[in-house]
Structure 1
């Protein structure tokens, strides 16, 4: 069983600000957890409704894409996971993180204008070329009786963190550092959940057409030379031409057009 959550000020603060139908209406908040994705998967197996959210001020074992860890300062950022039960073919599930990256960019933009967030394929959010948000989509293979299997969307957004470890200082940022002013987290989270619900429902409705169009408008490096670093240590260089219908990367290499489903993109050929 998923442990009951004690009162969390941020969770209490966001509840009256919600303008969603489902997202965040069921919400569990924790001061410290190993991973919000892990707790959300357990809650999903117990029958949590779609749009239920697990929120934490700090994760001791947060996970990121490509097996990386996600570490952020307690009480300064947003770390949460949303339970989804999508009616999408398996090859379209990757579009969920594309939809989420657009939703987060739209939510963030309301607080960082005139700065415009960009998206680094597949789902990192950039402000002034530095990463401020990452996401991880994981399958939850246990469906509650009579229900659809869930996927868990984890999001980590650097909001008011004012310093980073030396290894990340030249690559990471926060809304505070980029915009020069602190951002109230409860209104930001309410706005984020609203945009996430809107973009997710659009994805289910049209199969991804509107998401791909909005995504390409923000895609960092589009029609520019990029280098894609692969999990085996190799790399491919070419012109970033866009994405496929399932969200894979389209790269025009010296050997011809290629499609990639995973990797780390940089606009710097030397990394």
Structure 2
């Protein structure tokens, strides 16, 4: 029997509201709608957590569901005080926060490679696997991230307040192989993390998200001066590998080595001809 979350242990410093519900179609969809309807009821940062999600949304409109009490499904309302062109870093920072939270819970840390977690550009967290699969190499997907700017009718604090962003994170914790939808997915339990306490892990995750966003804001959204660009690079499964990027909107394919992230969080790929192409949106496949 999988244990439910313990909401009374989720009173985290800095968070104004953490709401846990039994079921949600999509926590991102519901939180976006709630913020639009009543921005004052969801001051930043706040979070909506679901024990069971039936119609989760990923990037490019992909949908997924999760068994009850098997995942961490959380959408966080943020108002990052950074230039709008830097918001592309948010999924990468969230992925780094996932790595840090799981590593801390497992007794490791962001520089300890023993835990085998890594971030795939732009919005997935991967875990090491014994056998390779197409597109991911020796990894499986353990978490997905979706950041959405909220199209508010009236900003909560007036025209000068930063835009609201809903950051959704879905982390597979205790799923068995039979409960996963595709062979490219995994869970922390399958990866050998054992019986993790989801409440403690959720608290750690929310704290890490708050820490990286605070550092990012303090540097005016500059990932280099904040040190976050280096941290993202250290946990990246994409940088330094050969990749094929299928560009958004059927705009073609770019293949080459993923060499760095630019100031906006876009992926820079160096082709075999030595040309550097900047990819801001698309599906990236790791090539063996």
Same fold (TM over 0.5): yes
1:58-137 counterparts in 2 under 5 A?
A: 58-112=52-106, 113=108, 114-128=114-128, 129-137=139-147
- CA offsets per residue over residues 201-258 of structure 1, 9 Å max, x none? 0111112222211000111132222211223184221011011011000000134111
Deviation at 1:29, TM superposition (A): 1.4
- CA offsets per residue over residues 71-98 of structure 1, 9 Å max, x none? 2212110001000112222211111111
Quick one: distance in 2 between partners of 1:194 and 1:180?
Answer: 20
Deviation at 1:195, TM superposition (A): 0.7
Quick one: distance in 2 between partners of 1:145 and 1:174?
Answer: 38
> What is the Cα-based RMSD across aligned positions, in Å?
2.0
Quick one: distance in 2 between partners of 1:234 and 1:161?
Answer: 36
Q: Which one of 8, 25, 39 corresponds to residue 34 of structure 1?
A: 25
Q: Which residue of 2 aligns with 1:241?
A: 259
Relative to structure 1, the CA distance from residue 166 to residue 95 in structure 2 (aligned partners, 3 Å threshold; closer, same or farther) is: closer
3-state DSSP of counterpart to 2:44: coil
Q: Which residue of 2 aligns with 1:195?
A: 208
Question: What are structure 2's unaligned runs of at least 5 residues?
Answer: 109-113, 129-138
Quick one: distance in 2 between partners of 1:252 and 1:268?
Answer: 14
Quick one: distance in 2 between partners of 1:164 and 1:153?
Answer: 28
| Number of corresponding residues | 257
Q: Which residue of 2 aligns with 1:5?
A: none
Contact residue 61 and residue 70 of structure 1 kept, 8 A = yes
Q: Which residue of 1 aligns with 2:132?
A: none
Question: What are structure 1's unaligned runs of at least 5 residues?
Answer: 1-7
Quick one: distance in 2 between partners of 1:105 and 1:166?
Answer: 21
Contact residue 164 and residue 172 of structure 1 kept, 8 A = no
Q: Which residue of 1 aligns with 2:151?
A: 141
Query: What is the TM-score when the length of structure 1 is the normalising length?
Result: 0.88
Q: Which one of 173, 178, 183 corresponds to residue 196 of structure 2?
A: 183
Deviation at 1:116, TM superposition (A): 2.8
